Amino acid sequence: MKKIMFIFGYLLFSASIISIYIHAANTISANQILRRDETIVSPQETFELGFFKPGNSTNYYVGIWYKKISPRTVVWVANRNTPLVDSSVDLTLTLQGVLLLRNATKGNVVWSSVNSSTTSVMRNPIGKLQDTGNFIIYEEGEDNNPIWQSFDYMTDTLLPGMKQGWNLITGIERRFTSWKSNDDPGNGEFSYWIDTRGYPQLILSEGRVIRFRGGPWNGLRFSGVSNLRPNPFYSFTFVVNKREIYYQYNLIDTSVITRLVLQPSGRVDRFLWIDSKQEWNLYLTRQNDLCDQYAVCGPFGSCDIAKSPVCECLKGFEPTSPDQWKITDWSQGCRRTIPLDCKPGEGFNKYSNIKLPDTRGSWYNQTMTLVECDKMCKSNCSCTAYTTLNISGTGSGCLLWFGDLIDIRTFAENGDTLYIRLSASALASIENRSQSARRRARVIVPVAFGALIILVSVGLFYGLNKKKQQQQRIPGNKLGQDPENRSDDEHLELPLFGLSMILKATNNFSMNNKLGEGGFGAVYKGVLDGKEIAVKRLAETSTQGLHEFKNEVISISRLQHRNLVKLLGCCIEGDEVMLIYEYMHNKGLDSFIFDKTQSKLLDWPACFQIIIGIARGLLYLHQDSRLRIIHRDLKASNILLDKDMNPKISDFGTARSFGGNQIQAKTSRVVGTYGYMAPEYAGGGTFSIKSDVYSFGVLVLEIVCGEKNNGFVHKEHCNNLIGHVWGLHKEGKSLQLVAKCLGESINVSQVLRSIHVGLLCVQRHPEDRPTMTSVVVMLGSEGPLPPPKEPGFYVGKTPEVTTQFSCSYCSNNELSITIMNGR
């Protein structure tokens, strides 16, 4: 009996060892079953294939992920749109070489890798997981010629060696599509793909709407992706021939792990795995500014993010609708100043450093020279523009456009050259202006040089005396001591007003003229040259105000936008330091939305226009101004309303400017107002455009609800306003949030969209929040919105809240803070 038990135990042990060996292998054979708790591992244990449950989902999917990276990073999903809810699941390879995913209990097939070309029984089909992350099915001995591979059916990730594009022989299109959410790998709204309707170009679309166009390949990079440059980690190529059209990247340093991911939000990110940190690091992300918005400047318009406004007509063109153009509605684009008539004398004007226009409907030839290209376009009256196809080396190929030229932008560098057809008169006009400019330059430059020498001499003399005077007028010369904005050499582009003028304008700072008082000092109403003004007077005891004064002058003196308060000038005389603004008849937004009487004067259309106006002003600060400005203290009291209830962002004392490609900074001096400050800024001093987006989100929710976030405590769940809005949104009860004073004036879809966008803006993690470009688009459209994630500073019952508060913490007082040596 003992001998029988021993043999039985030995057999069980052997079977388990065999089972472990089989399922630790990198292949699966015909009729072999892979169950829920079993996996296939690639030869070098780089990738693993098996069953998984994404995020907080309870559904089962078959996927491929990195085996040695934690947390699990999935790169491919088989049944992304057909989840399994039953844990009794298995994966089988049939004799026909088809991979079947079944519900083992019911026996029904929920997904298969059916290929119509393989219907007969194969000699010995094998499924193999490779170290590239590709799962292939092939006949024994034919692994170099797979009959099916996962790389042909990519999900949201592009791996090294994958081909993004088209196989023109089989008709297979390889595009990657975002997940719906981190919990649902089903097809999301965003796709990144190669459009072949004309010369192939890279497209990012949301549903059927183009959101971003990477443009055609110019031999070095996609025309609209200027940050795609050679690097030490990977090389990239684009192939166009009769068999295939595809983009591909391959590793240079094989020790590096990298992936390109299309996020559920539509963002395209490249990550590198850093072994020393044991985490994914964001290496590159798709540019995302206003000029990336598809066709933002309309036909024959060009977008330049370094200019304000960003849109301008190409030379030889003028706005189609000048009135719309003036109010920054560029959708109708531009038209020719002199129409084409297909007569002799028509030619081409050269435009440099641009993103090539939409190539749908274009024509191309890969072997023609640029001279031949010019002749071909000139001989066809319908041809509107041409360029060389490949700018590498000596250049080659020909690309022709017909009709309107759409989605052009100007780059500072690494742009392409385009030759656009113009009439003889238009070309002559451009040439005359150029010659006139050159003649003026020949005269002006010598004169200007001589004048410059004189001015520099006078300026040095005047500057030395002025500096001495200012040091006497401003005790301790404290305006130059701001550790965060060292701009001592900045020129203040503002008129200087004398103290006597300001005294007369404000009736000697009469108490009857006093409008209010803040951390900087008192604000007075005045009349200067018949125009109403507001005078911001620095308090004698306010050392913080000295920093704010200098910062505000330098920041706002360079800004011009209808939704920013206008700074008219300043006064620095004796001990007096003052800023002079345009007068806002309706004072601050807080005096309306938080006041039970005043709030009745605002209906929903007015509220929505205020939201839109604030969004456009903030977009200007972040994207379109000469400097990228981070406000850092956006709140209701800093939104002023003019006589027509147009909102204007004010108080730039704590603002910071970013230069170049800087996207965030960290400070030990946290300034702002509780209730509006983003978690990463309040807790760690990190600020960026996304911390302003958070403040904007709070402001939107306050406008809709008529409640102050920092003064709101719900009697049942102790949440602040954000937490209360989040809870009702999840329950589908958002309309309960609308302020009673708005009554029947509300537009339900606008209200729901505003709440939804507000929640997107206050999401806990900065990378999840939209940019103000996206916010303006979302508020002005009717398309679907991504689901918001849990907000920052949400006080709920979940264990993952960002910050825990008690009810006793909340107060009805708005508190502006400055934290020195913050975390």
Tell me which residues are annotated as active site: 633
In angstroms, the CA 25 to CA 126 distance is: 12
For residue 300, how many other CB atoms are within 10 A of its CB?
A: 24
* Phi/psi at 684 (5° precision): -130, 0
In angstroms, the CA 557 to CA 482 distance is: 18
Write the CA distances from 275 to 70, 153, 234, 281, integer angstroms.
11, 29, 17, 10
DSSP string, 620-649: IIIIISSSEEE-S---GGGEEE-TT--EEE
What tokens appear for 372 in the block?
């031949």
Choose among 698, 696, 697, 671: nearest CA to 682. 671
- Side by side, the strands of the sheet bearing 268-274 are 157-158, 258-262, 268-274, 279-285
The residues facing 416 across adjacent strands are: 354
In angstroms, the CA 350 to CA 361 distance is: 22
Q: 355-381 b/e with 16+ CB inside 10 Å = b?
A: bbbbbbebbbeeebebeebbebbeeee
DSSP designation for 301: E
Angle 573-579-583 from CA coordinates, rounded to 5°:
135
What tokens appear for 811 in the block?
């107060």
In angstroms, the CA 777 to CA 689 distance is: 17
Helix (H) or strand (E) holding 673: strand 669-673
In angstroms, the CA 582 to CA 751 distance is: 31
Q: Is residue 309 reached through a cis peptide bond, with omega within 30 degrees of 0 on the bond before it? A: yes
In angstroms, the CA 88 to CA 90 distance is: 7
What tokens appear for 816 in the block?
């502006």
How buried is 658 (Cβ within 10 angstroms: 0-12 exposed, 13-18 middle, 19+ buried)?
A: middle
User: What is the bridge-based pairing of β-strands 125-129 and 347-354?
Assistant: unpaired
- Side by side, the strands of the sheet bearing 184-195 are 176-181, 184-195, 201-206, 209-216
In angstroms, the CA 812 to CA 633 distance is: 18
Which amino acid is residue 722, in one-letter code? I
Which residues have C-beta within 8 Å of that of residue 797, sequence separation ≥ 6?
717
Position of tokens 């024994």?
A: 140
Task: State the Cα torsion 428-434-436-438 to the nearest 10°.
Answer: -150
The residues facing 303 across adjacent strands are: 311, 409
What tokens appear for 389 in the block?
């196809």
In angstroms, the CA 484 to CA 486 distance is: 6
468 is in an annotated binding site: no
In angstroms, the CA 163 to CA 236 distance is: 11
Report the SS3 class of residue 318.
Answer: strand
Per this entry, what is the length of the chain? 823
What tokens appear for 179 in the block?
């997940």
* Phi/psi at 385 (5° precision): -165, 160
Cα–chain center distance at 774? 7
- 611 and 754 Cβ atoms separated by less than 8 Å: yes
Can you say which residues are annotated as belonging to the binding site for ATP? 536
Can you say which residues are annotated as belonging to the binding site? 536
